[in-house]
Amino acid sequence: MLKIMKHAYVFPGQGAQAVGMGKDLYDNVPAAKELFEKANEILGFRITDIMFAGTDEQLKQTKVTQPAVFLHSVIMAKALGVKPDAVAGHSLGEFSALVVAGALSFEDGLEARVETCHGHAGRLRGAARYDGRHPRTGRQDGRGDLRIGRRRSSCR
């Protein structure tokens, strides 16, 4: 009997950042470089300069950390080239999970992180699953309903 392997990605929250993260992807994966450059354009500053060669203090600023960790997580998942059967995220990682599942566009996910850091949006809570054709969001018990919570942002 053939055993089929399932894949799941779990995305980190703030605190997973390190100067230099994503540089190898930028240099070696053309699709990754394209997304990094798209993020630079959306953000209105070169986040890649801070991610690849900035100081720890620059990268630790929440307004930089949040989009940087989101960006690295989504690009890494796309670079792996394996569509996961399930995704989950802790805090900020929830947005990465929604993008990788196809429930939220890359642009909307990145803009949501920026808006949250400027106090214009709440925090999404949920899990997303991918059935091979359509993303589905739902509770961790898999019953299929979406639970969304809002919380004031602590971005600085």
Which fold would CATH assign to domain 11-138?
Answer: Malonyl-Coenzyme A Acyl Carrier Protein; domain 2 (3.40.366)
Q: What whole-number distance in Å separates Cα of residue 94 and Cα of residue 5?
A: 24
Cα 148 from Cα 135, distance rounded (Å): 16
The overall pTM is greater than 0.95: no
Judge whether 32 and 71 are in contact, CB under 8 Å. Answer: no
pLDDT of residue 152: 42
Range from 12-26, 56-70, 141-155 carrying the lowest mean pLDDT: 141-155
Name the pLDDT band for 85 (thresholds 50, 70, 90): very high
Per-domain boundaries in the chain: 11-138
122, β-bridge pairs: none
Radius of gyration (C-alpha) of the chain in whole angstroms = 16
What pLDDT is recorded for position 144? 45
Per-residue confidence (pLDDT) for residue 33, from 0 to 100: 97
Taking only the tens place, the pLDDT of each residue in 101-151 is 999 999 999 988 776 665 544 444 444 444 444 455 444 444 444 443 434
pLDDT at 49 > cutoff 60: yes
Classify each residue of 30-61 as buried b or exposed e, where b means 16 or more C-beta atoms within 10 Å of its C-beta: eebbebbeebeeebeeebbebbbebeeeebee
pLDDT, residue 153, reads 42
